[in-house]
Amino acid sequence: MRRVKINGIYKHFKGDYYLVEDIAINSETNEKYVVYRSLYGNNKLYIRPLKIFLSKVDSNKYPDIKQKYRFELQKIESKNNN
């Protein structure tokens, strides 16, 4: 099963980048939500059900999209060699 990395940077299948800040739990339903912040514009904070965050892209609805999952963790390496 895929997991969410706290403080990881994820790319949405439509191209924008987001920083995962935490996982929250709905106190009424115990459903888990991903708390994430946009890395563009005014850096809005969002939540989305964990199940949807980790879901695959609907290839029927978006046939030209190359990314397999709705959000994919990015491997960003430092330019600094320290």
CA distance 12 to 46: 13
6 pLDDT exceeds 90? yes
Helix (H) or strand (E) holding 9: strand 9-12
**Could you write out the DSSP letters of every residue in 10-77?**
EEETTS-EEEEEEEEE-TTT--EEEEEEESSTT--EEEEEHHHHTPBP-TTT-TT---SBSEEE----
Strand pairing of 17-25 and 9-12? Answer: antiparallel
Query: Taking 90 as the threshold, does the pLDDT of residue 53 lie above it?
Result: yes
Q: Could you tell me the fold of the domain covering 9-73? A: SH3 type barrels. (2.30.30)
How confident is the model at residue 82, as a pLDDT? 62
What is the pTM for the complete model shown?
Answer: 0.88
Tokens of 80: 């600094």
